[in-house]
Amino acid sequence: MRPFDYVSVTDIPAAVQTIATTPNAKFLGGGTNLVDLIREDIERPETVVDITRLPLAGVTALDNGGVRIGALVRNSALAAHPLIRTKYPVLAQAILAGASGQLRNMATVGGNLLQRTRCSYFYDTASRCNKREPGSGCDAIGGFSRGHAVLGVSPSCIAAHPSDMAVALTMLDAEVEVESVRGTRRIPIGEFHRLPGETPHLETVLEPDELITAVEIPETTKNSRYRKIRDRASYAFALVSVAAAMETRDGTITEIRLALGGVGTKPWRATEAERILAGAQAGDAEFRRAAEAELAAAVATEQNEFKVELAIRAIVAMLREVNN
Ligand SMILES: Cc1cc2nc3c(=O)[nH]c(=O)nc-3n(C[C@H](O)[C@H](O)[C@H](O)COP(=O)(O)OP(=O)(O)OC[C@H]3O[C@@H](n4cnc5c(N)ncnc54)[C@H](O)[C@@H]3O)c2cc1C
Ligand code: SF4
């Protein structure tokens, strides 16, 4: 492990000023991803700016019916919060489907959104990886790719986005609030993560000197759920996951929201399936038609082509569940 400087900040102006004026610095949230990456010599910050003392650990109801979540709320606290459990059960379920109790006790909302891929070649510095070393190649393509993405892939990178929480937030149309020395800006979560294209090392639209301060979720139907399919019942990343919310009137779908995890290079909003389902009769035939249309764009490898049918079936099962 390379040596680095450690700085702790207690207010937001100091945090954004420090990151803007310190070369090669990184914020430290719960540290559950960053510290591993430093140990593996993948991230090499010269300074780590500890932000865990910033006053960003609140969950508050908004006047417009939505909720504001501070970037430093720990994953366990968020999943247990009464506002989240009652109004956004999909978010509580998605968080509890991720990692382990100890990791969730440490992990923060901001850090979860920025966690890096679990592609094993990314972690193996002896392998070629365009995300770790731009232009070096991608050993996952033609290599071990069972867990990799089938949607949004490029010839440069097929790594799946690992976060469960981000899938639920994507389905809920959350907005990410960020702060820097230039001021505050808000980013719709659908625009926050980038597709890999030819630059897989650029994973989000966040600038290196921007601090995530909060995530806001608008009011929406409470009829929402998350289902995660994985190799083990806990402590495993998704092969496929589905976040869904639906309302019907006399069998007609009046509100539909759908997002996928484990299959996309970013948290995947299933816009094609939503388009087909909006105003349709709720039922297995329409659910399957919509799911197949969403997965029609899939580009799979021999090892992960099973994910296409698995995702279709997971979508149908999830929609059946929210339809009851
Ligand atoms: C064994 C294991 C299993 C896991 N399983 C799952 C799983 O099944 N599902 C899942 O979703 N996740 C899983 N995770 C990932 C875990 O959820 C993430 O490690 C965690 O959410 C990261 O949050 P953190 O606060 O610890 O981030 P950190 O490690 O502190 O930071 C991560 C990145 O975010 C940056 N950062 C942190 N906060 C901010 C901020 N406010 N503004 C700007 N930048 C910031 C840091 O600089 C760093 O680059 C697993 C992790 C491990 C180790
Ligand atoms: S899939 Fe992406 S992260 Fe994995 S080796 Fe290829 S470039 Fe690297």
Check: CB of residue 4 under 8 Å from CB of residue 46.
yes
- For ligand 1, whether the C-beta of 34 sits within 6 Å is yes
279-313 pLDDT, tens digit per residue, is 999 999 999 999 999 999 999 999 999 999 999 99
Q: How far apart are the first and last CA of the chain?
A: 52
List the domains of the chain with CATH numbers. 5-52 (3.30.43), 227-322 (3.30.390.50)
Percent residues over pLDDT 70 in the chain:
100
For the CA of 145, the closest atom of ligand 2 is 1
Q: Please choose from 129, 132, 150, 195 the residue to mutate so as to test ligand 2's pocket, defined by most ligand atoms within 8 A of CB.
A: 129
Q: Please choose from 115, 118, 121 the residue to mutate so as to test ligand 2's pocket, defined by most ligand atoms within 8 A of CB.
A: 121
Taking residue 299's Cβ as centre, other Cβ atoms within 10 Å add up to 15
**Residue at 305: amino acid letter:** E
Protein residue whose Cα sits closest to atom 9 of ligand 1: 98
- For ligand 2, whether the C-beta of 38 sits within 6 Å is no
CA-based nearest residue to 62, from 217, 166, 194: 217
In three-state secondary structure terms, 79 is helix
Give the mean pLDDT of the chain: 97
pTM (two decimals): 0.98
For the CA of 129, the closest atom of ligand 2 is 8
C-alpha span between 183 and 213 (Å, rounded): 12
Q: DSSP of 217-270, one letter per residue? A: E----S-EEEEEE-SSSSS---SEEEEEEEEEETTEEEEEEEEEESSBSS-EE-
Helix crossing, 306-322 with 284-295: angle to 10°? 140
39-88 pLDDT, tens digit per residue, is 999 999 999 999 999 999 999 999 999 999 999 999 999 999 999 999 99
